[in-house]
Every structure is written in C-alpha cells, then in structure tokens.
Chains A and B, each alone.
Chain A
Amino acid sequence: MLTVWRFADQSIVLVVMAMLGLGLLAIFSAGYHLHPNHYFYFCRQLFYIGLGTVSMLIGACVNYGNYRFRTQVPYILGTILLAAVFILGNQSWLPIGGGFHLQPSEIAKLIIIVYLSYFMSFERGTIHFMKHSVPIMLTCGILILMTALQPDFGTALVMTALTVYLLFIGNLPLTHMIIPVAVALPAVVSVPFFFPHVMKRIVNFSVSLLPGAGMENLAHHDLQFRLAIGSGGFFGTGFGQGIVKRSVLPASHTDSIYAVLVEEGGFLTGAAVICLFLALLLIGERTARFSHDRFGALLARGIVFYIVIQAFLNISVCLGLFPNTGVTLPLFSYGGSSIIVTMYALGVLVNISAQRIIMW
C-alpha cells in the first residue's frame, strides 16, 4: 500500500480531501436543522466517508488490470441489484438493514465504466456494427433502461452520457452511434409524456429561458436555487447563516448542496468547487495519458468523466442551465452509496496513476 501511495499521483487524494472537507462543512450546515439530532447527517456522512476511505484504499491496492477479467460477474450482479429495486426497494433505493439503503444505480455506473473500458480497449482492425457495437450498446442499454424505469432519470442520463463518452473516445465509428441514437430518441422524447413530473420540469425550464421571464416565471425549486445562490454575494452569508437553506431550499443536504455552498460561501466557494472538478478532470486526463495500457486510460477517463459530468449536471441545474434532474454533487452531497462507490472509483484512479510510475 505504501508503494502505491509513494508512486501514486497524490494530487488526486488532495483534491478528493478538499472536496470531502468542503462537502462535510456544507452538510453540517445544511443538515443541522433537518433532524432533531443536529449532528445526525454530519456524523453519518463522516461514517460514510470512513467507509469510502476504506473502499478507496481497496480500490487503490487492487491492481486495476484484474478488472479486465470476468467483467460479466459484476455486470450480472449489478443487473440483479437493479432488478431487486423493483421488487424490494423504494424508487431507486434498496434497504440493507440498520436503517441503511443501497443505491444500485451508483454501482451500475462503475460497472458500465469497467465494462466499456474493457471492450473498447481491444485493438481491432475494424469494428463491426452487429458484432461489436450492438451487443455493447444493448448491454449498457439494459442497465440504463432499468435505472430509468425505477424511475431515476437523472442517473440514467449520467449513465447515458458516460456510455456515449466511452464509446466516443473508444473510437467507435460515429455511424454506429447514429442508428442506436435514432432508435433511442423516440423513447427519450416520449418519456415526458408518460411521466408528468418530467414534462413539468422541462416546461418550467423552457419558460424560464424565455426572454423577459422574471422571478414569477420560475418554478418553485428553480426559484429557491436562484434565491440561495443570488443571496450569497461574493463572499457568502457566512457559515451556517444561509436563510434560504434554512427556510425553503429543497433537499439542501443532497441535491441542493451546491446552492448551500454558494449561499454561505459566496462566489469564491462556488467557483472553487467548479475548479476542483476541473482539476480532477485534468488530473484524470494526465493519469490516462501516462497509463501504460489502453484499458487503464479508458478506465481513468471514464471514472473522472462520470464524476465530473454528474457534478456539472448538478451545478447546471442549480445555475438554471438545465432542467431539474435530481442528481447529487459527487463527494459533496450526503449519501453513503454515492460516497463509497465514488471513492472506490477514485481509488482505482490512484492505482492507475501509481502503475504509470512503476512502469517507468
């Protein structure tokens, strides 16, 4: 483990620690009044971070090359867990006892990364549409569809973006991507018609984009996001002093944690959070570039992309640039499954970065 630490890109750990630290402060502030026990969410998050650290250490110590073998096992396990949600779970949560819940869709993201990295790492002369592209896309499509039907459209959107990204940088011919997109598009377009809340969010977002749209045209959640972020100013209202967070901000400790950060930490903190994710993206890219194999490179890029794209999705919702999706801010928002899986993935990134040096 010490060898891995010595050769790993330690900036990954620094960035992660900065994110977790900021997130913990925001959860303390946001969760203080949400539960009769003021420290409930803080302590739980601290516990999750502890578990996440263990998972990160495991991820960092296990040679990432091992993931290329038996990729079907985690895939099947992930599919079973997603299916179990429909039978035993509540929306996208699966009870695991002791008041804890598991979110299988978080694991599914990691499965997609490993699965696609593995398949796209082969050097092939030509990629056959029916032989290669269709099975890959079908395999990922099943996981995405199961997540979407939970219904968890936000995570499904992240998974779709991740799939498209990995296929795109895996050098899949663009023509191969057009046909499945053409098939999937009507399904995606029809979603709002079957799920009124999705339609409502899209309509509200569209209305807010209209020229001359004022505060009164904003949907309830959008307005609260805007009030919280706008109230922050350059330096913020101060730690624990946010009134929108305290009063009306929905899911302040999960989906809206970025708004809490900006309200209490101001523009400086908000920009710092964006920069931290950008830094993670660049660190991941550096790790990928110096990875000694294509699988490692794809894995590193996939891990970083899934974290960054989810973060950007969350931030864009808070800034009124995208309809409300319900995705959390990775490493900041409260939630055990997300923290443990994300930190495990970052552990894998550390392992990839460590092997780069070893090979030199």
Chain B
Amino acid sequence: MNRSARQGWILWSLTVLSIIFIFRLFFYTVAQHGRWFQAAHVRLVRSMSLEATRGRILAVDGQTVLARSDIKVSVAVDTLRERSTGRDAQTARELAEILDLSTELVRSKLHSRFNAEWIKRDINPEEFNRILDLKGCGKLRSIRILREITREYPQHPVCASIVGFARGNLLEGWETLGPFTGFKGIEGLEASFNDLLEGRDGSFDYLINRFGAPEPDTITVRQPAQSGNDVVVTLDPAVQAVLRARLTDSLLEHRAGSVMGIIMDPMTGAILASDSVENMDPHLDPDYRLHTPINCWPPEARRNLPATSVFEPGSVWKPIMMAIALERNLAVPSEQIDWQPTIVFGRKIFKDWKTFPSRIGLDEVLVHSSNVGIIKISKRIFNSLSSRQIAAEIMKMGFYREVPRDYPVHPRGTLNHGNWGPVSVGAVAEGYELAVSLVQICAFYCSIANGGYRVEPHFGRSIVHHETGRLVRSLDTPVSTRILSPQTVRFISRALIDCIDHGTGRQAGLHEYGVAAAGKTATAKLLDEGSYASGKYRASFAGYFPADNPRYVIAVSVEDPGAGLYYGGSVAAPLFKSIAEGILKDIHGMDPVPEVPQC
C-alpha cells in the first residue's frame, strides 16, 4: 500500500465516521426527540404551585383592616435528613453566620425532637440569597426556604367573633411546623366570604441544578396567582369596641349568664356591630382574649350570639303584634281597651305586671308594656286570622327568615304555628312559644325607624380589587319592600319614644345629650329543661336613636342576670343607654348637656 492509498483509507474512514455521526445525531435529535425532551423535563424541571394571596377583610371605612395575609420567607430544617448527612456542625456554623444567630441555638434546632423545625422566620432578602447560593453549591440540603403565610387580625379580639378565622393547611412532610399554607375560612365572615377572599392559585416552573437545588433566574410562571378580592364589611370597629366594652361591663355588673347586643343602620340594614360575652372565666379575661388566637378559644366563647342564637323575645315582641293588628285594621290607634288584672286562655292565667286604669289607650299598651292589653289585641288577631295567616304576617315583618345571609350561621328561629293552641293567644302576644334571633328583632325595629321598610341585615358592603382598590361589586341590599304603613310606623314609634320618656324604658333615656330615643323593654322567663324556671329571666331592650332621625338601632339581651335586678327596664335599658352614650361620646364626640337650674 503506497502513501496516497494509505491517506485515502484514512480520508474515507473519517468521511464514513462523519456520516455515522450525522445518522446518530439524527437518531437522537429527531427520531427520539420526544422521549429525551420529556425525560429532560421530568428530571430537570420542577413545578410548584404559587399560592394566591387571600384577600383582606376591611371595616366599613374601607381602610381599617380586620383580616389580612402576611407573607414571610422563613427557613426550616428537615431534622431527619440533617441527621443523615452528619454535617450538622458545619450546617449550624454556616446558618448561624448567615442568619446572625448563635451556633448553639441553630444546632439545638437541627437536633430538635420534631421532624421539622423553624430555624428563623421572616428572613431578609440578603439572608435568602446567601442561603440560596449555598444550596446551589450542594450545601444545606436539609434546609428549606418556605413561603410562610400567616393570617393576621389587627382588630383582635374586639371583632374576633364576627370576623371569625381562617385556618391553614399543614405542608406534607413538614407538619410539625404548623399550618402556614392554603388558608380557608372556618368561622365568621372568613367562612361566609371565603369564595370571594380566596384567589386562584398559580404555578411556576423552575430548573434544578445537579444538587437538586433551584437554579437562580430560571423561574417561569406558568399561571400567575390571582389574589383574592378584598371584602369591605359593614362592621365599624369603633362601634364594635363600644358595644363590646359595655356588654362586658353589664355582664360583670349583673352577673349574667350571657349578654349580647347588635347595632344596625336602620336605613340599610348594615350590621355595624354585633357581639356577645358569656360568663366563662377565664375566657372573659381581656388578657386571655388578647393573647390567644380566636381559633384557640373554646367554641362557646367564639360564638356571636346575636346572629347564631334564638330565644323567646318577651315584650320586645309586643310592637310586632300591635303592628299586625294595626296593619290588618283590627285595632285603631285612638281606641281605648278595657283593662283587667288577669285573663284566662285554656288553663293558663295571664297576669299583668302592674295595675293599670280600667281603660287604657292603645299606645299605653306599648308604653307600659301591658300584658293584658296586648293579649286582647292578640285575641282579635287570632280570632280574625288563621294561624297560617298570622305566621305569614310575622314572616312579612322579617322573622322566621335566615338572616344575616352572609354569615355562616343564620338560624331562622322557631314559629311552631302548626301547634298553636288556646294558650298561644296569650303566649305569642307576650313573646313566648316562638324563638327569634336578636338580629331579627333589631331588623324589625329598623323597619320602624326607617319609616316602615323591611331591611335585610347584612355584613357585606362591597368587593374591591385587592391591588387597585377598584370596586368590583357592591353587596349592599336595597331597601324597597314596605311592610308597615306610615300610620302604623307613626303610632308605634310614638309609643316607643313615650316608652323611654315615661314608660318602662325610662332608664334608656338620652335626655342629657339632647337626643330623643325610642325603644321597648322586655322581661322574659327563661326555659329550663322544658319549663319556665322561677327566678331566671332574660332582660331585653330594642330601640333606636335619635328618634327624629334614627341612625343607630340597638338591640340588647341580658340572659339570667343574677345580681338582683332582672327587669328589662332596669337591666337592659341602662345597657342600651350606656351603649348609646358610648357611641355619642366616643364616635360623635358629644358631651352631656349640663342641666339648666330651674328658678
């Protein structure tokens, strides 16, 4: 073989080799492209969900935050994995240096008896980047940087029972760190507005390096997370604070079982404040409530009784019966009723609570809360209308309906009109044999205050965009259905004003502020195991002020006052007054007008 033949062989060999290369290249890049492309993505691309930020709950002013989500970046250790590496000393040294902690502290966390442990929460960007750099080099493999979400309630505990709480999920494998992701509303407005507050989770992809750590700057957002909307509610924290303080004072003063109260805007039905306190030490302790999250309170302590409990209302029910009679022309405002000390229905003798003149005006029935008077009116109703018609009238007034609809618990109450018997004529007239919620009573008094229109009690005011603050949707319920004629409203409201001026609700008067108030007292016996217990009462009051241009409707109820006083006029009326005073003083900056000495 000569020289050029040898070179020819080499050239041909290299050319053939080139062709083999090209075929091989074609095989991988074209024929098997799908297989390798998929394998590369499976091995190198990691997907992660990006949790949407839960919207805020804002007070009526649209500024005060009742609930918000705080996002922190925190560092945690997988202690089991750390133990298996055997590099705890080095890890502790490196982390302590970056996070400005003592090495001993970090080491103790690495050796925690739990499977996972927080090392430091809410780290700054510099710490984040330095940890990421070390992880990128294959170090700190047991350390994980977590996006931690916490739900904060700045108005806790004042608004706690209304706002409720949202609970996060545990992260699989990191359960001992506690819940910090995937918040869902569990109670209160957090639960009822959960769908609006929740955003839409997004997802992103990132590349991992050969150590399995994320490669910086490789994040590709597949679907951006859409934050939840902010919900503006009707709750006014200042009014709520006044209500809560006065309810607590009343509970302590009267050693009551529980005290509840609700304040509404008569024109819109917006619930401005709603709260209840129960005699359950140590949960009454302000320190306990302040320092303990609401989800750790016992269930009975976190109930908002005005919306969630029903009871026999007692005499605050009398205006409803009076309104039905007047609307059905079964009574005339100017008429006089024959009074008698007792009246019998079936085997039940109904007594009046005091002696009245032999003939009393229809308004006097409400002003002085005459049981016999209202029973006589009730008898006319029962004689003229069937029980079904009476129930329809009661429902028309706003009772036996599930309100407030935007609160997770909204019992409609009990009417039981199918089982009404002869005794019911008297019992229903006095506010027994039926159960209603305080919010329903308050809503009816709103109707009197606003000129006879039914209101829909509600907490939601509007939905606004989380970032831009733009109004997405209004939640206000329009007030349009008239349920009481102007004549009826005029008569009842006059009677309610007189009730405070010289009737049973004198202790609710706001004369020293130059403000006229209207309202009705109630003292109802409490049921105890199926029968009315002796010495156990519920004192209630429902009213509004100013009477000439009502802005606040307040309904309060004190269950089982144990300090001697138990009448609505002496327990609930002063509570109404103290709440109204608090609003006038603390919110409207009004002071009592000094009395002018009379010459």
Contacts and interface: CB of A to CB of B under 8 A. Distances in A.
A278 interface: yes
Nearest to A312: B17
Given A33-B217, A230-B36, A231-B33, A321 B24 contact: yes
B29 A243 contact: no
A253 interface: no
Contacts of A281: 11, 14-15
Chain A at the B interface: SS class: helix
A232 B29 contact: yes
A309 B21 CA distance: 13
B3 A227 contact: no
Contacts of A309: 14
B35 interface: yes
Contacts of B35: 230
Interface in A84-124: none
A229 B22 contact: no
Interface stretch (B101-109, B204-212, B256-264, B528-536): B204-212
Interface stretch (A20-28, A48-56, A265-273): A265-273
Contact of B43 (A227, A250, A267): A227
A248 interface: yes
Contacts of A266: 29
A301 B45 CA distance: 46
B26 to A, nearest CB: 6
Contacts of A230: 28-29, 32-33, 35-37, 39-40
Contact of A315 (B21, B36, B215, B217): B21
Interface in A212-237: 215, 226-234
B599 interface: no
Interface in A292-307: 301, 305
Interface size grouping (class) on chain A = 35 or more
B472 interface: no
B40 A243 contact: yes
Interface residues of B, number: 38
Interface string B1-23: 01100110011001101101110
Interface in B196-255: 207-210, 215-218
Interface in B12-65: 14-15, 17-18, 20-22, 24-26, 28-30, 32-33, 35-37, 39-41, 43-45
Contact of A312 (B21, B39, B218): B21
Contacts of A316: 17, 21
Contacts of B11: 281, 285
Interface in A192-221: 215
Nearest to A233: B33
A275 B24 CA distance: 14
Given A230-B29, A285-B11, A274 B21 contact: yes
A234 B39 contact: no
B33 A270 contact: no
Contacts of A308: 14
Contacts of B14: 278, 281, 308-309, 312
A168 B43 CA distance: 47
Nearest to A267: B29
A278 B29 contact: no
Contacts of A83: none
A231 B36 contact: yes
Given A226-B36, A231-B36, A281-B11, A171 B2 contact: yes
A270 B30 CA distance: 12
Nearest to A315: B21
A126 B324 CA distance: 136
Nearest to B7: A169
Contacts of B7: 169, 285, 288, 301
B36 A278 contact: no
Most buried by B among A215, A247, A250: A247
Contact of A232 (B2, B15, B22, B33): B33
A176 interface: no
B39 A169 contact: no
A171 B40 contact: no
A248 B25 contact: no
Contacts of B25: 229, 262, 267, 270-271, 274, 319
A285 to B, nearest CB: 6
List 8 tightest A-B contacts by C-beta distance, closest first. Answer: A230-B36, A267-B29, A227-B40, A247-B207, A247-B44, A319-B24, A233-B33, A248-B210
23 contacts: A33-B215, A168-B6, A171-B2, A171-B6, A229-B29, A230-B29, A233-B33, A243-B207, A246-B218, A248-B44, A248-B209, A267-B25, A270-B29, A274-B21, A274-B25, A278-B15, A281-B14, A285-B7, A308-B14, A312-B18, A315-B21, A319-B25, A321-B20
Given A227-B43, A230-B32, A250-B210, 9 more contacts: A33-B215, A165-B10, A226-B28, A227-B40, A229-B28, A234-B30, A267-B30, A285-B7, A312-B17
Interface of A: 33, 165, 168-171, 215, 226-234, 243-244, 246-248, 250, 262, 266-267, 270-271, 274-275, 277-278, 281, 285, 288, 301, 305, 308-309, 312, 315-316, 319-321
Interface of B: 2-3, 6-7, 10-11, 14-15, 17-18, 20-22, 24-26, 28-30, 32-33, 35-37, 39-41, 43-45, 207-210, 215-218
